[in-house]
Amino acid sequence: MGGGLGLGGILVLALLSVVFKTDFLSLLDTGGGTPGVSDSSGPAAPIDDPREEPTVEFVSFVLDDAQAIWSHLLAQAGTPYEDTRLVLFRDGIDSACGFAQSATGPFYCPGDRKVYIDLGFFAELRERFGAPGDFAQAYVLAHEIGHHVQTLLGTEAAVRRAQGGRGESGHALSVATELQADCFAGIWAHWTANEKHLDEGDIDEGLGAAAAVGDDRLQRQAGKRVNPDAFTHGTSKDRAAWFRRGYDSGSIDACDTFASAR
């Protein structure tokens, strides 16, 4: 991504930046640069480990790119885009949605409109869930930014209102919300691919990551039977399919995951 480089190229530049203590990423045209920890749209990261600087630089770049794309798309839809902020942490952190531990996984908090990611999750994504690759990490962030887009569009508030007292249908709305965030992640991938910012194999990594965290797969991995009533995000097949739909279309209109939940 950026300046014709793919995500793999960006990660290499981030590594060189750490080794030579020179900001090679500043050579790229990112439409505003890589946000620092004090930037209002960049990561607020209580992380002070040089070994993690490449990861921080990488997710910062993805954040910048995704927000630039969504700013353009929402402007076309008549909705102003407001930057979210990425908070990177280890072990646990307080948010407007309460205290979160690493077991919570990445999440978006509509209360403070921030994305929270425990850096340890990326290793878990690779080692436990079998979804390696830098684009798998990018997918995770793009999914959470998708929730931010839902907040800006009013979808998140509408879902909360609709869930009141709806029982099983309210549960279906939660799954539809998560699948739409997958579709929105695919939209970002579509537009960044159009700018020739992706490496060969990146989309396969994204599809693999979406499938790796499907509810049915996670339940089997935990030694449990597959129980659709306990789904929170959707099946592996559905998550990958909606990511693919967003990627193929690049259109918000293609992401109506709520049709079957109504």
Closest CA to 138 of 6, 4, 232: 6
The answer on pLDDT for 167 being more than 60 is no
Q: How far apart are the first and last CA of the chain?
A: 38
Strands (E), 52-208: 85-89, 92-95, 98-101, 107-109, 114-118
Give the Cα separation of 205 and 173 in Å (integer): 27
Give the per-residue pLDDT at 8: 52
Structurally, the chain folds into a number of domains equal to 1
The answer on pLDDT for 165 being more than 70 is no
255 within a domain of the structure (yes/no): yes
The answer on pLDDT for 2 being more than 50 is no
1 within a domain of the structure (yes/no): no
Strand partners, 53: none
The answer on pLDDT for 7 being more than 70 is no
The DSSP symbol for 77 reads: T
2 within a domain of the structure (yes/no): no
Q: What is the extent of the structural domain holding 24?
A: 7-261
Give the Cα separation of 25 and 46 in Å (integer): 21
User: In the chain, pLDDT over 90 holds for what percent of residues?
Assistant: 44
How crowded is the C-beta side of 105, counted as CA atoms within 13 Å? 10
Give the per-residue pLDDT at 173: 92
